[in-house]
Amino acid sequence: MFDVTEAQNPRSGTGGTNLGHARAFNRRVVLETIRLHGPLSRASIARRTGLSIQTISNIAEELSASGLLREEGLRPVGGRGAPALDLALEPNGGFTFGISLDHRRLVAVLVDITGRERRQETVDIEGLAPDAVVPLIVRTTSELARRERAAKKRLWGAGVVMPMLFENGHPVAFGPTSMPAWQDYPVVDRLTQALGMPVLLENDATAAAVGEQLYGVGRRLKDFFYIYIGVGVGGGMILAGHPYRGHAGRAGELGHVVVEPGGRPCACGNRGCLERYASLSAAQAALQGLPEDAVQVDPAALAAGAAALDDWLDLAAKHLRTAAVMIANLLDPEAIVIGGIIPEVLLGRLIARMGGLENSAALLPRALPLLQAEIDLASPALGGAALPLFDGLAPALSLLSKSV
């Protein structure tokens, strides 16, 4: 049986190796190649990966027996012999859950191994303690699997997404948070035990970037940076088609970049952090004339009061543009995508006020697009569901050093 837990945090491309001890890596290479470009013939897979036809045939036989691949179609080929059969992912070969939590709602999605969303459910959790939310997650995901007739052995894992950072599987926050009750709660341990499957934890910005890559504007991009505007400001990076998290999972943490030296004090200990100007907590403070942490952020109230937020938009756009120029010069992405839980009526105006980045820095060789995200509230959940898929399908170079 194919083991979807053979590696964590894949980041590589899809080049193969014929070394005998690299079977697990080669399986990932074949699966990822078919996921990205399939259906494909064995010969086409061999050309794309550098693996031999015999190696491809052996892997295909193994993965087909495991229920992960299927043969489909008849495609004429030149010369003699029977037409070549294409290999495609078997959609029912595996499923993953994406679970997005904020202080108001739980969004759960069930996704198959082709990346297609099969089911979605939203549950109101406002005011509920973490220990009351965990059973709701179990009931919701169980119902999604039951309705889709997804067997337990085909459930690969769950990606859990929250608007916080994490240390050792526990949520932590550096500044205003919409989920103070979840601070230091052992999310991974509790849900792994309750769900009976691997659980991956991710912040909302990185998960939204993955969701946007698979289902939104990121489908046309290989490298982009996602600026996530929520209660705080976060960032997610997609590099060479895969999420990049960094050594401790904090890559892209844009909110605490200082954009105004000596500016507004921040709970992280610095002054002038981007979050203190461009977050929805800053927008709500501007709208109500109250400290940022006085009341919980209400996106609907911000949308209703959008006409009174011109000053906030100007300041937020100014500092976000500074951050965008820094990203452009540091990472040279194809584009910067901006989204989050910010109401659309504010997001469009914010991007317009940021302007273009054509002449914003001498080091920029080209115009860098600022793109509005296409996926909104479901994006983190869809990105969360993709995390076990990346771990199960994409090749990881760490496999080459393992004895398989």
Closest CA to 187 of 209, 167, 206: 167
Residues 309 and 334 in one domain: yes
pLDDT at position 9 over 50 = no
Residues 342 and 301 in one domain: yes
Evaluate whether residue 47 is within a structural domain.
Answer: no
Do residues 96 and 64 touch, judged by C-beta distance below 8 A?
no
Contacts with 47 (C-beta within 8 Å, 6 or more apart), sequence order:
none
Q: What is the pLDDT of residues 338-354, one digit of tens each?
A: 999 899 999 999 999 99
Residues 164 and 306 in one domain: no
What pLDDT is recorded for position 77? 53
Mean pLDDT rounded to a whole number for the chain: 83
Residues 224 and 361 in one domain: yes
pLDDT at position 404 over 70 = no
pLDDT at position 160 over 90 = yes
Residues 346 and 385 in one domain: no
Characterize the bridge pairing of strands 199-203 and 170-172: unpaired
Evaluate whether residue 270 is within a structural domain.
Answer: yes
Closest CA to 107 of 233, 207, 237: 207
The CATH number for 245's domain is 3.30.420.40
Distance between CA atoms of residues 60 and 71, nearest Å: 9
Residues 131 and 244 in one domain: no
Q: Which pLDDT band, with edges at 50, 70 and 90, does 177 fall under?
A: low
Evaluate whether residue 65 is within a structural domain.
Answer: no
Distance between CA atoms of residues 378 and 395, nearest Å: 27
What single letter denotes the amino acid at residue 66?
A: S
Residues 235 and 327 in one domain: yes
Least confidently predicted of 11-20, 48-57, 142-151, 285-294: 11-20
Residue 357 or 204, more confident: 204
Evaluate whether residue 158 is within a structural domain.
Answer: yes
Characterize the bridge pairing of strands 69-75 and 84-89: antiparallel
What pLDDT is recorded for position 365? 52
Sheet holding 242-244, edge to edge: 242-244, 233-239, 224-229, 335-340, 370-372
Do residues 207 and 384 touch, judged by C-beta distance below 8 A?
yes
What pLDDT is recorded for position 164? 80
What pLDDT is recorded for position 376? 67
Q: What is the mean pLDDT of residues 84-105?
A: 89
Q: Which pLDDT band, with edges at 50, 70 and 90, does 402 fall under?
A: very low
Residues 250 and 370 in one domain: yes
What pLDDT is recorded for position 305? 93
What pLDDT is recorded for position 280? 93
Q: What is the pLDDT of residues 219-264, one digit of tens each?
A: 888 899 999 998 889 999 998 888 888 877 778 889 999 999 999 9
What pLDDT is recorded for position 5? 39
Burial class from Cβ neighbours inside 10 Å (0-12, 13-18, 19+) for residue 297 reads buried
Residue 125 or 375, more confident: 125
Evaluate whether residue 79 is within a structural domain.
Answer: no
Q: What is the mean pLDDT of residues 173-191?
A: 80
Evaluate whether residue 252 is within a structural domain.
Answer: yes
Q: Which pLDDT band, with edges at 50, 70 and 90, does 267 fall under?
A: confident
Evaluate whether residue 73 is within a structural domain.
Answer: no
Task: Find residue 106's DSSP bridge partners.
Answer: 101, 123
Tokens of 277: 């100007």
DSSP string, 24-46: HHHHHHHHHHHHHH-SEEHHHHH
Q: What is the mean pLDDT of residues 76-93?
A: 74
Residues 189 and 154 in one domain: yes
Residues 245 and 150 in one domain: no
Contacts 24+ apart (CB under 8 A), 318-323: 319/259, 319/260, 319/274, 319/277, 319/278, 320/227, 320/274, 320/278, 320/350, 320/354, 321/354, 321/355, 321/357, 321/360, 322/259, 323/227, 323/254, 323/257, 323/259, 323/274, 323/278
Evaluate whether residue 39 is within a structural domain.
Answer: no
Give the chain's domain count: 2
Least confidently predicted of 50-59, 73-82, 255-264, 312-321: 73-82
Do residues 299 and 306 touch, judged by C-beta distance below 8 A?
no
pLDDT at position 169 over 80 = no
Distance between CA atoms of residues 323 and 274, nearest Å: 8
Residues 181 and 300 in one domain: no
Tokens of 38: 């399939």
DSSP string, 166-222: EETTEEE-SS--S-GGGTT--HHHHHHHHHTS-EEEEEHHHHHHHHHHHHSGGGG-S
Q: Which pLDDT band, with edges at 50, 70 and 90, does 75 fall under?
A: low
Range of the domain at 347: 219-374
- pTM (2 decimals)? 0.76
The total of other beta-carbon atoms located within 10 Å of residue 212's CB is 28
Residues 268 and 335 in one domain: yes
Distance between CA atoms of residues 48 and 25, nearest Å: 15
What pLDDT is recorded for position 400? 40
Q: In this prediction, what percent of the chain has a pLDDT beyond 70?
A: 83
Q: What is the mean pLDDT of residues 203-208?
A: 87
